[in-house]
Amino acid sequence: MSKSSIKQEEIINSYIESPDKQRKLYRRTLVTVIFSQIFGGAGLAAGVTVGALLAQDMLGTDDFTGVPTALFTLGSAVAALLVGRISQKHGRRFGLGLGFITGGIGAIGVIIAAVLNSIWLLLPALLVYGAGTATNLQARYAGTDLANSKQRATAASMAMVFTTIGAVAGPNLVNVTGEFAVSMGIPSLGGPFILAAAAYILAGIILLIFLRPDPLLIANALAVRSVGARQYTDNQLGQPLERRGVILGASVMILTQIVMVAIMTMTPVHMKHHGHGLGDVGLVIGFHIGSMYLPSLITGILVDKIGRKIMAVASGVTLLTSGVVAALAPADSMVMLIVALSLLGLGWNFGLISGTALIVDSTTPTNRAKVQGSVDVLIALAGASGGALSGMVVAHSSYAALSFTGSILSLLLIPIMFWPYNRGSNLNNQG
């Protein structure tokens, strides 16, 4: 065993023996994740705000304007799997840190593609950029590693709520970053990706430097020490109760992701067709992303207090309302578009935090990061599908038809949540 391994084991053992040190590490982990998420949110917002518009400019058609969202979401699927595996083996610090830095490199590739007007460079760059999206989502799990069962949703929400600062600032800086880009000889739509590159790389550096000792490694050691290694094997996931919880949590997050990504992706294009400028688009998307993250702390408390399933059903009802409002909103009404996209973000927020809590409840430290990464792959693929199909639906039908379709899909959350009840599952005590 190397000296560094021996030293790491000594550090881990010192935390196992000290509940006070564990509490302090829990708080320090949350602070570190919070700072990384402020920058991560800014990086995330760039692709959401102008990705579809950049592709529209390059391709000259609306049919494939959903492709950028599909690509960076597909890239996030691959990254989610890799980040989860790396985190399980080496800890959250390396998994999340490398994931954010990779996303920053992808954003640099998008900037170069914009300068060269190269769609063939844009496509792979967006795939790599997607690593930041996956990492931004997986960071929410880091806060739960040392949380008890009554703190898990709240801990996940703490990471998410501070994403709001960067995520809301990003879309509302599209004009400023666009002007900065033009001054450097870069097309204005490449501006937000300059912000994304810097933000993602900074987020990664923060995690690599400050997320130590690693909370997942400490949690794993605590679990093995307190309960016994025999009970903490990957086979535990094979038990019906845990598997059902994973399926429920994944189903909630997959459905909310499809609906949210599909409607969100086409809203900027819909607005542009009806005379809205980039400032208007940035305002609407800013409200949307703010609603995705800002309510997180309250949502986390509600999920912990009144139950995972009740909040998942609330997610379906909120997304249903959002789709109806978006479909019926006059295209020139900024107020109605803001209401629709805010409800869309809020419904996604309810679904993500309740689903996250279900996943954490159903896993153990020795399989948690791996399972979380695998579930996030499915979420990302669902988002990629929603993004890719949304452009085709709008091109051959209408934005209203897309919004109504999203409303119908969101209703599926209600029967899914009642599925365990019909089988007498013990998950009933989770909400």
pLDDT digits (tens, 9 = 90+) for 137-184: 888 888 888 877 777 888 888 877 887 777 777 777 778 888 898 999
| CATH number for the domain harbouring residue 102 | 1.20.1250.20
| Domain with 234 in it | 17-421
Q: What is the pLDDT of residue 92?
A: 92
Judge whether 228 lies within some domain.
yes
Q: How many domains would you assign to the chain?
A: 1
At a CB cut-off of 8 Å and minimum separation 6, what does 260 contact? 292, 319, 344, 345, 347, 348, 383, 386
Q: How far, in Å, CA of 234 to CA of 218, rounded?
A: 18
Q: How far, in Å, CA of 360 to CA of 368, rounded?
A: 7
Residues 19-58 pLDDT 10s: 888 888 988 998 999 899 888 888 877 666 677 777 777 7
Q: Which of 325, 321, 331, 214 is nearest to 270 (CA)?
A: 331
Res 348 pLDDT > 50 = yes
Cβ-based neighbour number of residue 205 at 10 Å: 16
Q: What is the pLDDT of residue 421?
A: 44
Judge whether 160 lies within some domain.
yes
At a CB cut-off of 8 Å and minimum separation 6, what does 140 contact? 33, 156, 157, 159, 160, 356
Residues 268-296 pLDDT 10s: 888 888 778 878 888 888 888 889 888 98
Q: What is the pLDDT of residue 197?
A: 93
Judge whether 7 lies within some domain.
no
Q: Is 149 exposed, middle or buried, given 0-12, 13-18 or 19+ CB atoms closer than 10 A?
A: exposed
Q: How far, in Å, CA of 43 to CA of 100, rounded?
A: 9
In order of 11, 20, 249, 302, 398, the CA distances from 17 in angstroms are 10, 9, 33, 33, 61
Q: How far, in Å, CA of 216 to CA of 363, rounded?
A: 13
Query: Which parts of 295-333 fold into alpha helices (H)?
Result: 296-306, 308-328
In order of 97, 231, 355, 374, the CA distances from 239 in angstroms are 33, 12, 19, 18
Max CA pair span of the chain: 67
Tell me if residue 8 falls in helix, strand or coil: helix
Torsion angle of C-alpha atoms 34, 40, 45, 48, degrees rounded to 10: -120
Specify whether the CB–CB gap between 108 and 181 falls below 8 A: no
Q: How far, in Å, CA of 342 to CA of 337, rounded?
A: 8
Q: What is the pLDDT of residue 324?
A: 93
Res 412 pLDDT > 60 = yes
Judge whether 279 lies within some domain.
yes
Judge whether 431 lies within some domain.
no
Amino acid at 16: I
**Most confident option among 140-144, 355-359, 360-364:** 355-359
Q: How far, in Å, CA of 302 to CA of 346, rounded?
A: 14
Q: What is the pLDDT of residue 199?
A: 92
Judge whether 11 lies within some domain.
no
Q: How far, in Å, CA of 107 to CA of 169, rounded?
A: 17
Specify whether the CB–CB gap between 37 and 137 falls below 8 A: no
Judge whether 220 lies within some domain.
yes
Higher pLDDT, 299 or 163: 299
Written as one string, the DSSP assignment of 165-176 is HHHHHTGGGHHH
Judge whether 289 lies within some domain.
yes
Higher pLDDT, 45 or 188: 188
Specify whether the CB–CB gap between 357 and 249 falls below 8 A: yes
Residues 60-99 pLDDT 10s: 666 666 677 677 777 888 888 899 899 988 899 999 999 9
In order of 116, 219, 231, 381, 382, the CA distances from 65 in angstroms are 19, 43, 49, 17, 17
